[in-house]
Structure 1
Amino acid sequence: MAALGALYPQPLWQWFAQICAIPHPSKHEQALSQHIQAWARGLGLNVLEDKVGNLIIKKPATAGMENRKAVVIQAHLDMVPQKNADKVHDFTKDPIDAYIDGDWVTANGTTLGADNGIGMASALAILGSSEIKHGPLEVLLTIDEEAGMTGAFGLQPGILQAEILINTDSEQEGEIYMGCAGGVDAEFSVPLNWQTVPANSAAVTLSLSGLKGGHSGVNIHLGRGNANKLLARFLVTEARELQLQLSDLSGGSLRNAIPREATVTLCLPAAKLDLLQQKLQRFEQLVQQELAVVEPAIKLSMSDAAMPTQVMADASQQALLNLLHACPNGVMRMSDDVPGVTETSLNMGVISTEGDKVQVLCLIRSLIDSGREHVETMLASLAELAGAEVSFSGAYPGWKPEPDSPVMKIVNDTYQDIYQKQPVIMVIHAGLECGLFKKPYPEMDMVSIGPTIRYPHGPDEMVNIETVGQYWQLLLAVLERIPVKA
């Protein structure tokens, strides 16, 4: 961690090291927020924690910049808590073990939190500097972005005075974002009936692991395996012949992360154990061949399990497996307006067995409302066919592109002046908070930039060191070029 603070730019990386040292997964940001508040008050800055827990810190303009338009630098306080199955780590108590790996910074077996910790660190470094030139400055650090955007939903009008907002949650240097997808959570509830375990049964646990996972917006177009879908595919294909009877099924941990692991505990006639092992090996070989390029480490394993007290009734199990197997997943449609960008997608993120039902959490994303609504109706139809219920919640709007945005032009021109090349103006399929900010602040001019972050929302997350420096230089130069107030 000490080595991080020696990287360029030092103030940013020193703050990022502090952020890694203080646990801050979604819903558990308070310790980090309090640390930042105490530091900011120590500098004499204006600090406010709003009623939902967002942190707003205001800093006066540097000398000679008082007449510039005020700017908000925005990031979110929380990080996605994902770890490898063999990693012992409590995200609510343990620091992130970040380290330098060549040209990248990554973490030991867990998510790094560069999403959005680098952006947060840049904002705090600017607040702490007496040398960086800027006009009136506000820093907005929202809570719970990764698990529901609670902070963005709760932001009230009148708290921010700035005319311009710079979101720091983008993940590709050289790209400037002017729009993003909206989304909605979908939750299936599949009812279960139970029956006793037949005599002469054996109990085993099947585990599917080794997948890359990743961000369900940024990485959804890469064709990576979804552990939930793959395990359901095996079960629906082999359940009848092997007389498989499920007692517990689970997979994934976040609706906005592509599932890397899934497990099922089941019973079957003891005489069919060898056949199950053979079929499991054949299926492993099959998916290894299909996904050889994108998922080279995929693994299926079988282990003995304690005998359950009950298993799913045949009709319940068949309805469940049919729903899981038939549920769409991945890219639904690519955008016609923005080449190379996903328009609409669905991620089957979490499966859990709870009492007399199985819950399945999905996240629908779309650049257009009609695309999102189309997938909603697909899932509603599927639920009706399976005798299940589906509910939709937490809908958030997309950020509609504004091609004539003044701040977009400033960032674009500044980038060209610094790097002598044209940046790519993009719309991102991931959900940024900007769309929600437009409700309380409809006139605010917004743009999103950031360094290159690979594999966010998964334990392979890493941030490129050189691009952090490039992002920093761009951000500071843009602050200097903010125009005077009208």
Structure 2
Amino acid sequence: MAGISQLSPPLLWQFFETICSIPHPSRHEAALRQWIEQWARDRHLAVEQDKVGNLIIRKPATAGMEDCKGVILQAHMDMVPQANADSRHDFTRDPIQPYVDGDWVKARGTTLGADNGIGLAACLAVLADRHVEHGPLEVLLTIDEESGMTGAFGLEPGLLQGDILLNTDSEQDGDVYMGCAGGVDANISLPYLAVGPDRRHQAWRLAVAGLRGGHSGINIHQGRANANKLLAEVLHALGQQLEFSLAELNGGTLRNAISREAWATITLAPEHQERINSLLERWQQQFSTEFAGVDDFIRLSLTAEPELPERVMAPQLQQRLLDALLACPHGVMATSRSMAETITTSTNLGVIKTEQERIFVQCLIRSLDDRGRDRVAEMTAAVFRLAGADCQFNGAYPGWQPDPDSPIMKLVLATHKEVFGALPAVKVIHAGLECGLFKASYPHWDMVSFGPTIQGAHSPDERVHIKAVERFWLLLTRVLHQTPRR
């Protein structure tokens, strides 16, 4: 990893190298938090951990800037754990292995954690760098952003004194964000109604793999294939052609990642093998044509299993489940009439998991407005209720509504033009930033979000552009230097 720490700005990349070396998937940030806390104490910075596990680190203003407005620099400590199918990476124990590939930094076989590790590294670099000039500074590092926004939900009023929040969790150089989508998790459960398998049948593993996947907010409009939807489509169509039994169905691992792989265990009469292979070849060609230029490496496979499963789904459950998955909404549901190319509402069929007593399905619904979110939630619940499922909605969080008169937005725009010679694009991001939740406890905060170019977030294709990181650092430090007076 020597090449990483030698990139520019070196202090930021050195911190990122350390972050990569300490496992920190969602809900397993304790080791990284402990390291940061000790690092801050060793440098005599004021640091505290709140009731839910967020860290707050304070640094006094640079001489002559004591009367500037207080700034909160914010990042989250967790990362999305996604690995290629052939990887044995244990995200709770193994370090991420970043490497330089041309103009980009990538990871070997896993997510890189640039989301939001680069922002986190920038926050620490500002604390460490004596040459960065700033007013009263607080760094807020939250937990569990990726899997539930636990840190943002649990942030108490009164802990932070600043007036301006700079969120570092955006992923496109040249864009500045003034709003984001809210969301809610749909947690769906169907009882597993089992019967014994037909002993004359052969067991097979039917799989969909090779998809790009990606971030369920940032990439949802690009028309990438979802392995859960493709497998449901194949199984549903197969049921129209042949009689088979479904033993289990699994796909995706995170509700906020577009599913890259899905597989099912099925049983059917041995004499149908040639027929099913022929059908799979036809569907393979259909998917290749449908997703050409978007997902070019979709693979359907059928592999014989050595033994029959102990149970299969009762026919009525199998039909209801496949009907519901086929009908389950997925993708962009609405776009803005007033903001061009802005997604208003979307939903992602993220996880299907067969457990001992139930089949579990999880979707993440995102929307800029609560009504759009609730409309798709009701639609999803209606589909699965018809299938006899229980549908619970958890973790609802509000969107961050744009403020066109934001002073910090105007400062960032002016600073960007001063440093780079051009104004950035002002956008509303469809990802779920923590800013909307912060407003509940700190309604007076003036907020803006910006960051470097990160592509493929939430997938093993994740990469961060090296020059964009340098530009991000220049913009961030210049904005801090120009923080307005109280």
Shorter-normalised TM-score: what interval? over 0.9
Distance (whole Å) between structure 2 residues aligned to residue 418 and residue 239 of structure 1? 61
2:403 maps to which residue?
402
Task: Give the counterpart letter for 1:451 in structure 2.
Answer: P
Matched residue, 1:275: 275
Give the letter aligned to residue 234 of structure 2: F
Give, as a single letter, the amino acid of the residue that structure 2 aligns with 1:476. Answer: T
Q: Which has the higher mean CA deviation after the structures are superposed, 109-118 or 189-198?
A: 189-198
Q: Is structure 2 residue 271 aligned with structure 1 residue 260?
A: no
Whether the 8 Å contact between 1:215 and 1:456 is mirrored in structure 2 is yes
SS at match of 1:382: helix
> RMSD of aligned C-alpha atoms?
0.8
Structure 2: how far apart are the matches of 1:356 and 1:4? 47
- For residues 130 and 76 of structure 2, the distance between their equivalents in structure 1, rounded to whole angstroms, comes to 24
Q: How does 1:80-479 map to 2 (within 5 A)?
A: 80-305=80-305, 306-479=307-480
Amino acid at match of 1:421: A
**Structure 2, unaligned runs of 5 or more:** none
The reply on whether 1:60 has 2:29 as its aligned counterpart is no
Percent identical residues? 55
> 2:465 and 2:141 mapped to 1: Cα distance?
23
For residue 156 of structure 1, give the secondary structure of its aligned residue in structure 2: coil
Cα deviation digits, residues 411-460 of structure 1 (max 9, x gap): 00000111111111110000000000001100011000100000100000
Instruction: Give, in whole Å, the separation in 1 of the partners of 2:453 and 2:337.
Output: 25
Alignment length (residue pairs): 485
Q: CA deviation at 1:355?
A: 2.1
Q: Give 2:30's aligned residue.
A: 30
For residues 197-256 of structure 1, what are the alpha-carbon distances to aligned partners after superposition, in whole Å with 9 as ceiling and x for unaligned? Answer: 113100010111000000000000000000000000000011243212011100000000
Q: Determine the structure 2 residue equivalent to 1:484.
A: 485
TM normalised by structure 2 equals 0.99
Q: Distance in 1 between matches of 2:377 and 2:125?
A: 42
Cα distance in 1 for partners of 2:162, 2:225 equals 43
Q: State the AA in 2 paired with 1:58.
A: R
Q: Distance in 1 between matches of 2:323 and 2:73?
A: 47
1:33 positional shift: 0.5
SS in 1 for 2:88: coil
Tell me the SS of whatever aligns to 1:127: helix
Deviation at 1:192, TM superposition (A): 2.8
Alpha-carbon displacement from aligned partner over 1:70-101 (angstroms, at most 9, x marks no partner): 10000000000000001110000001010000
**What SS does the corresponding residue of 1:438 show, helix, strand or coil?**
helix
Q: Give the aligned residue type for 2:97.
A: D
- What TM-score does the superposition give when structure 1 sets the normalisation length? 0.99
Once the two structures are superposed, residues 273-325 of structure 1 have per-residue CA deviations (whole angstroms, 9 ceiling, x without a partner) of 12111111211111011111101111111112231011111111000000000
Q: Deviations over 1:315-369 (max 9, x none)?
A: 1100000000011100001111221121100000000011232111000000111
Distance across 2 between alignment mates of 1:219 and 1:208: 20
Amino acid at match of 2:37: Q
What secondary structure does 2:14 align onto? helix
Question: Aligned equivalents of 1:384 and 1:123: distance in 2?
Answer: 46
SS for the counterpart of 1:131 is coil
Q: Give, in angstroms, the shift of residue 191 of structure 1.
A: 2.5
- Structure 2 distance, partners of 1:237, 1:49, is 53
Q: Which amino acid aligns with 2:171?
A: E
Matched-pair contact (CA < 8 Å) for 1:49–1:56? yes
Q: Deviations over 1:370-417 (max 9, x none)?
A: 111110111122122212121111000000111101100100000011
CA contact (8 A) 1:239 1:245 kept: no
- Between the aligned partners of 1:199 and 1:125, the Cα distance in structure 2 is 64
Secondary structure, in 3 states, of the residue corresponding to 2:399? coil
Post-superposition offset of 1:124: 0.1
